Structure 1
Amino acid sequence: MIRDSASGRRRPHSVVAAAVCVVLLLVAAVALRHFVAQPFRVPSASMEPVLAPGDVILADRSERGTAHRGAIVVFDGSGYFAPSAADGDRYWVKRVIGVGGDHVQCCTSAGELTVNGDPLEEPYLPVGTVPSEIDFDLVVPEGRMFVLGDNRGDSTDSRHLLGAPGGGMIPVERVVGEVDRRVWPLPRAGAL
């Protein structure tokens, strides 16, 4: 401690003040990541052209544990999409196609997916991509979601796990957050 000559009071040492600032910044960063937004790096081409490998996205943590049709979400796929978190494939990013109670079917005579009998408009699919080469007709159980990658020809998603435990349906409670922004690379940064 250093004494202030004018008042005779002690001033905190600059090292102590810097340490307090660093601790406060770390606490703020952890709080932001846990309660506001969490960054993730896109590992594969399964969500192209919207998301490319290497993109860094932010998952809105206020949306954790929720899912609605059309949203891009990050979820914990351990035990559903990956045998274990040790495989490095714990978190997945996919588009929600159906939620609890939805009847999802592929495909109509025109080659479209339907949700509750209505054709699903999918402007995000790459040009020339068919909605699915795997036929399915299912009802999503309550509390679960049916997810697909936008790059259907290069995506492991709910379609591929229909016979696996959970039937490819992910518990909504596993949603880490809804993806609303890409932050890297800078030329592609912005809201989705």
Structure 2
Amino acid sequence: MTINTSSSASPASPRRRGTLTFIRDVIIILVLALIASFLVKTFLVRSFYIPSSSMEDTLQINDRILVNQLVPEVSAVHHGDVVVFTDPGGWLTPRAQEDPGPIQWFFEVIGLSPSDSDNHLVKRVIGLPGDNVMCCNTLGQLVINGEAIKEPYVKLPANTTKVSSIDFDIIVPKDSLWVMGDNRYSSQDSRYHMDQPGGGSIPMDNVVGHAFIITWPLNRLTILDSHSGIFPTSDSGSDSE
């Protein structure tokens, strides 16, 4: 008589090993995906939400945007770029920090949720280092290096064509930018901080990156236009030594 010495569990063992291998592979893929997302968020692209109306109608409250973080270290800043930057000091009213909770914090860290924008601002680059920016000429336009520009993105009150309620005539310092909101009469931008260090210009080091696309809501999915053609032909500051 032949005695079968095989364990009754033996036929199931390959299946269990296959399941464990599959679970292990899925975990490895998820970990690698999270690491890749973290690296992209840290070094390449970052998501922000828009908390104010200062850039209307280009950007609306609660829009989500992607920001190219290779600017300005790898890719130069140009006239008309929409940039996100950290508060250079005194631009934002201090607010109590809200605890986002562990889940929200985790998704922000790995780049799957828009970053908290409480310490960041978004404006359009109007002046580069060395530029003479003046407002306004007799037609109510900005003048950059002696050349008047027509700004199609500007939102103005119905009763005016003057693109700034504050007159100014400045030279942008070295390694700095003069920035303004598209919603000109509802933007606390460079004009409102001319009494601070830098004369209202922001340090280039404060620039997080160049916003290049609206990703949410889906009906506003749009590539952001720098309108570079309306500005003086030479970007005098960012590219030059």
Mapped to 2, the partners of 1:86 and 1:139 lie a distance apart of 36
User: Larger C-alpha radius of gyration, 1 or 2?
Assistant: 2
In structure 1, give the amino acid aligned to 2:84: V
State the SS of the aligned residue for 2:151.
Answer: coil
TM-score between both structures, scaled by the size of structure 1: 0.88
2:125 counterpart residue number: 96
CA distances 1:62-86 after superposition (whole Å, capped 9, x unpaired): 2244421111011111425237696
- Describe the SS at the equivalent of 2:214: strand
Pairing 1:110–2:118 present: no
Structure 1 letter corresponding to 2:182: D
Equivalences, count: 187
Would the aligned equivalents of 1:80 and 1:166 in 2 still touch at CA under 8 Å? no
Determine the structure 1 residue equivalent to 2:54. Answer: 46
Measured on the aligned residues, the alpha-carbon RMSD in Å equals: 2.3
C-alpha deviations, 1:10-67, integer Å up to 9, x for none?
Answer: 7653332222122111101111112221110011110001100010011112224442
Question: 2:149 matched to which residue of 1?
Answer: 120
Q: 2-side partners of 1:45 and 1:85: how far apart? A: 18
Q: Distance in 1 between matches of 2:124 and 2:45?
A: 18
What TM-score results when the alignment is normalised by the length of structure 2?
Answer: 0.71
Tell me the SS of whatever aligns to 2:162: coil
* Equivalent residue number for residue 79 of structure 1: 89
Tell me the CA shift for residue 4 of structure 1: 4.8
Q: Which has the higher strand share?
A: 1
- Equivalences for residues 1-192 of structure 1 within 5 A: 4=14, 13-65=21-73, 66-79=76-89, 81-82=91-92, 89-126=118-155, 128=158, 130-192=162-224
Q: Structure 2, unaligned stretches of length 5 or more?
A: 1-11, 98-116, 225-241
| Matches of 2:57 and 2:40, distance apart in 1 | 29
- Supply the AA of the counterpart residue of 1:168: G
Uncovered stretches (5+) of structure 1, i.e. residues with no partner: none
